[in-house]
Structure 1
Amino acid sequence: MNKNVQLQDLGSLDYKAAWEYQEELFKAVVDLKIKNRREEGDEPTPNYLLLVEHPHVYTLGKSGDLTNLLLSEKQLEAKGATFYKINRGGDITYHGPGQIVGYPIIDLENFFTDIHKYLRLLEESIILTLQEYGLECGRSDGETGVWLGVGTPFARKICAMGVRASRWVTMHGFALNVNVDLGYFDNIIPCGIRGKAVTSLNVELGVEKVDEQEVKDKIVKHFATLFECIIE
């Protein structure tokens, strides 16, 4: 089992370009697994963790409801935003500047074959990161992602999650709001959940801007510990 994970920080990248790159890596890992099984090979499958920031974009998961996008095509253009229907789980979400997006493309057979455990460890890597900033956060029953104020009238989501897995290979992942313009969430019903707010790390800390590289480093550190992997 290969427990090495290749870390790639893609900087700011158009959503479609990042999606296509994910698909390319994902397909290569799946194809290698198929080849190994057909030919009784044992070539280790690679694992990746992509970090990226996207220009303004709304994405709708395969089980999502298009009516949760509250903008017309012209209004999207006016806001400088794009829209894609994609092949992850979950409903609609927003990506944009000031948000750290993580796409783990890993072969879970290198770690464990449990998609629910995978999602919980992804959440935990964000929870532990936020706790380093003194925030009390956690999970909301029946709703993936990371939340603040769970069980209060002021529940608010700070990190959205949506993944795809095939043959135990994952893609898509998490989106943590760090220095995000929250106004862009007003144009959707985030994750199809009504009556709950969205927040950002800088808002919760009461500062103008949080060091995003510092946040990335903390996420990677906790990811490595939780998945018991070596980050390359």
Structure 2
Amino acid sequence: MDRPSPENVEIRRESGQIAYRAALAEMETRNAAIAAGEAREMVWLLEHPPVYTAGTSADGAELLDPRFEVVEAGRGGRYTYHGPGQRVGYVMLDLKSRGRDVRCFVHSLEGWVIATLGDLGLEAFRADGRIGIWTRTREGREAKIGAIGVRVRRWVTMHGFSVNLAPDLSHFGGIVPCGIEDFGVTSLADLGFEVAPRALDKALLARLGDFLAALEGKDCALP
């Protein structure tokens, strides 16, 4: 059986910053168009100005210092931060043709990011009971290097993942990231990796076929 091709998925890569509210509105429009069969599926790679976003499970007590705009995102999860130096991937796929399995989608999304970071030389992993993409700091402590948050409407996915390339890590101090207090946040730069957005994009897209194959084959763990 041939591996599913990513050729029918539109790829958008932004070099400038896109305001979060504008991106959210565009995602919602694209979601409806994909569901209606009027637009192609899409992977959108971009960066936002500093913003805190609240998921559907956000607890106001975890908004510690709202120094930036706070936007209700409509995705699952709690508070997260987006800002310069962080690459965000919004993934809009039609699960009606890809198994209608949300759990598999999330697992495969995590696997895509973990495999990509491995290609860049960084070992990352899932952590039982903790949302996100994890790695170890120079001191050996576990810390989050990427976030996962999704929404599925009309069986079309929205939102996706973020990877910390070189953000100002102090900006995460305004929230309890994803409701997890006992572990810190790190970045590729903090760990000694200099990875430009274009380099991450290239590595992600090199693995896009694997991600789609995992979804369509119900093989929820990427090699």
* 1:121-153 deviation per Cα after TM superposition (whole angstroms, max 9, x unaligned): 111111111112322211011223210139x97
Query: Which of 169, 178, 186 pairs up with 2:165?
Result: 178
- Aligned match of 1:24: 29
- Aligned match of 2:217: none
Opposite residue 58 of structure 2, the aligned amino acid is G
- Aligned match of 1:195: 182
CA distance in 2 between partners of 1:52 and 1:221 (Å): 17
The 5 Å alignment of 1:108-127 reads: 108-127=95-114
Q: Which runs of 4+ in 1 moved over 6 A?
A: none
CA distance in 2 between partners of 1:132 and 1:14 (Å): 30
1:220 and 2:205 are equivalent in the alignment: yes
TM-score, structure 1 as length reference = 0.83
SS at match of 1:145: strand
Query: Which of 48, 70, 90 pairs up with 1:83?
Result: 70
CA distance in 2 between partners of 1:71 and 1:226 (Å): 36
Runs of at least 5 residues in structure 2 that lack an aligned partner in the other structure: 215-223
Tell me whether 50-59 or 212-221 shows the greater mean CA deviation.
212-221
Answer yes or no: is the 8 Å Cα contact 1:55–1:97 preserved in 2: yes
Q: By how many angstroms is 1:28 displaced?
A: 1.6
1:164 and 2:151 are equivalent in the alignment: yes
SS at match of 1:130: helix
SS at match of 1:227: helix
SS at match of 1:216: helix
CA distance in 1 between partners of 2:5 and 2:207 (Å): 19
* 1:27-80 deviation per Cα after TM superposition (whole angstroms, max 9, x unaligned): 2223x1xxxxxxxxxx586211111100000001011112111125xxx2xxxx
Opposite residue 164 of structure 1, the aligned amino acid is R
- Aligned match of 1:210: 195
CA distance in 2 between partners of 1:127 and 1:67 (Å): 30
* Alpha-carbon RMSD: 2.2
Determine what percentage of the aligned residue pairs are the same residue. 37
1:46 and 2:40 are equivalent in the alignment: yes
SS at match of 1:71: coil
CA distance in 2 between partners of 1:45 and 1:54 (Å): 24
